[in-house]
Structure 1
Amino acid sequence: QIKHGAQLIKVCVSGGVMSMTGSAGAQHYSDEELRAIVDEAHRRGMKVASHTHGADAVRHAVAAGIDCIEHGFLIDDDAIDQMVENGTWLVPTTRLADAMDTSHAPPELQAKAAEMFPKARTSVLAAYKAGVKIAVGTDAPAIPHGKNADEIVALVDRGLPPLAVIQAATINAAELIGVDDRGRLAEGLLADIIAVPGDPTEDITVTQDVRFVMKGGKVYVNK
């Protein structure tokens, strides 16, 4: 994948809500395979993200040196502590718990959703309080590109402070993917700016009403 131009490696270390077979928390790779993936990617200067739900699978992914856990709906205190100790990021994609309609899914998938979605609404706050580094992501196409604000609002709804969530979507996200020319407003960085009709630290929902967009110093939206 790196030879074909990949800029990030993502592996599915555990199952998911929409996996037709197996538990959502079951580990899909051996520890040796995980370490080989991480070591080879890191040797090439690439970060590795891991689709992982189950607490045990998270622990094994973190131990292998995975840079970021995607989802982590079923993480427990021990897995959280290990993430803090290793500096592992979490991209919680918590909006999925509200947005995914499983009413027409097979019964086994509905059962998974009923188990996992309530935990998705609480695990991210536990991780934040413990000091896990958090960045905003959407799990597109489940939550489409351009709907980042829905995840931002959902994170505040889970109990995270608005300013911390804004940082997760900007400064933290840039740090996670390894870019240092964006993510904050500073001299010499790309002029990537949005404007919303209000103070998002007082009402986070204003982030869903973007009135002005500047990217790289060029204005694309000005309502």
Structure 2
Amino acid sequence: MTDSTLGAVSATAITNTRVFDGHSLSAPTTVVVQPDGRIGDVSADAVVVGAAVVNAEGTVLLPGLIDCHMHLKGRESLETLATYGVTTGLDMATWPASQFQSLRGLRGVADFRTAGMAATSQGSTHSRIPTYPDVALVDSPDKAERFVEVQVADGVDYIKIIADLPGPTQDVLDALVAAAHARGLKVIAHAALYEAVRMSLAAGADMITHAPLDRALDDATAETMLAQGTVFIPTLTMMKGVAANLTAAGVPGVSYAHAHESTRAMHAAGVPVLAGTDAYIGSFTRASPPYGESMHDEDAYIGLLERAMPPYGESMHDELALLVDAGLSTAEALRAATSTAAHAFSLDDRGAITPGLRADLVLVDGDPLTDIAAARRVLRVWCGGIEV
């Protein structure tokens, strides 16, 4: 279905379904999807004259899932996300700006927010990508202001910094975060190594994405994150794949156990944990390995990363299972992909099934509070009130 054929959306009444309220399931009730794409009445006795009725007996209705770390690759990526119940994708690096600008405002597919291009520095892994924008290679504090200015002009929603080593120095990280915060933008730091996490927190990053593979985060890190209100997006699906592939290739000092333990410890300490996958389907360009000099064959290294890249949509359900395995309850894991995610990214119009919010809804077969795998059994999906 194309945007031109979507037309006006009639009201829909989803009846006899149990609604996930962030903590538990309601008794069987009715949820009304209004023609404006918002949630209307949510009650057992809701009546909408002329509404299309979906008898959802035996099902559970979830808020649309939010993938807190993915990468856009055209409209097809948004379509695929939606089929798995992911109604919002938070893009963590896409360029040129025209690529994401052309996707704004699409209807009947997953919505998105974007970081545009991510800041890094000369000599980093990402700087070796031939198409990487020069303005994103921030090698001195004075260049940080220019980078953020360009991002704001392009219409990004937040700033991403690739903090892994080799990468930006501490003074550059400090300047990037300060420039972003001065413009009211949150900062997400890519940090798959312990030292990169430490440096990112010292700079005041709002979120850490990826969990380190070289060393587990400790109590002191948790205390810092709690004190600063930092959010953690461990991308366990991606880290598990990368660790397995690098270990098989003989790269020393890399273990998924560090990522798992970091997630367990941060959650136990009360640090907000979000569900993100690093989903992307495409090819890397040649880049230098960040996990030690033992991996000299760059083509082999890139092949390992390509095989680790999670697929759109499906990987969200892998991530939920890994979060539960790391100590989150099923309800906490679902919140990590709904209300907690929406709050962290200031998406005040979604993340819950409440009158007036955007009608991003996922109907599933079974009870994901009993078994998180039930969230995989997607029956129907609405994105902004439009069934996909």
**What is the CA RMSD across the aligned residues, in angstroms?**
1.9
Alpha-carbon distance between aligned partners in 1 of 2:204 and 2:247, rounded to the nearest angstrom: 38
Give the TM-score normalised by the residue count of structure 1.
0.84
Which of 197, 206, 212 is the equivalent residue of 1:58? 197
**Among 155, 161, 164, the residue aligned to 1:5:** 155
Deviation string, structure 1 residues 144-201 (Cα, Å, up to 9, x no partner): 3213111011111222111011001001111222210011111111011101111111
Say if 2:211 and 2:236, in contact at 8 Å, map to a contact too.
no
- Cα-to-partner distance string for 1:22-48 (whole Å, 9 max, x where unaligned): 6xxxxx322221121111112222111
Once structures 1 and 2 are overlaid, which stretch shifts more, 98-107 or 38-47?
Answer: 98-107
Q: Which runs of 4+ in 1 moved over 4 A?
A: 103-106
TM-score (norm 2): 0.50
Q: 1:107 maps to which residue?
A: 250
The answer to whether the aligner puts 1:162 opposite 2:330 as a matched pair is: yes
Segments of 5+ residues of structure 1 without an aligned counterpart are 16-21, 23-27
1:8 is aligned with what amino acid?
Answer: Y
Matched-pair contact (CA < 8 Å) for 1:91–1:135: yes
Which residue in 2 is equivalent to 1:18? none
- Residues 43-75 of structure 1 deviation map (CA, whole Å, 9 limit, x = unaligned): 222111011133333222112110100013232
1:122 aligned onto 2:261: yes
Q: 2:378 corresponds to which residue?
A: 210
SS at match of 2:152: coil
Bigger helix share:
1
**Kept after mapping to 1: 8 A contact 2:349/2:358:** yes
Residue 234 of structure 2 is aligned with which of 89, 92, 101?
92
Counterpart of 1:79 in structure 2 is: 221
Q: Is the 8 A contact 2:211 2:239 kept in 1?
A: no
Q: Distance in 2 between matches of 1:52 and 1:85?
A: 19
Instruction: Number of aligned residue pairs: give it.
Output: 205
5+ residue gaps in structure 2? Answer: 1-150, 281-308
Compare relative contact order (CA 8 Å, sep 6+) and give the higher one, 1 or 2. 2
8 Å contact kept, 2:170–2:203: yes
Q: Is the radius of gyration larger for structure 1 or structure 2?
A: 2
Question: Structure 1 residue 187 and structure 2 residue 187: aligned?
Answer: no
Paired residue secondary structure (2:190): strand
Amino acid paired to 1:76: D
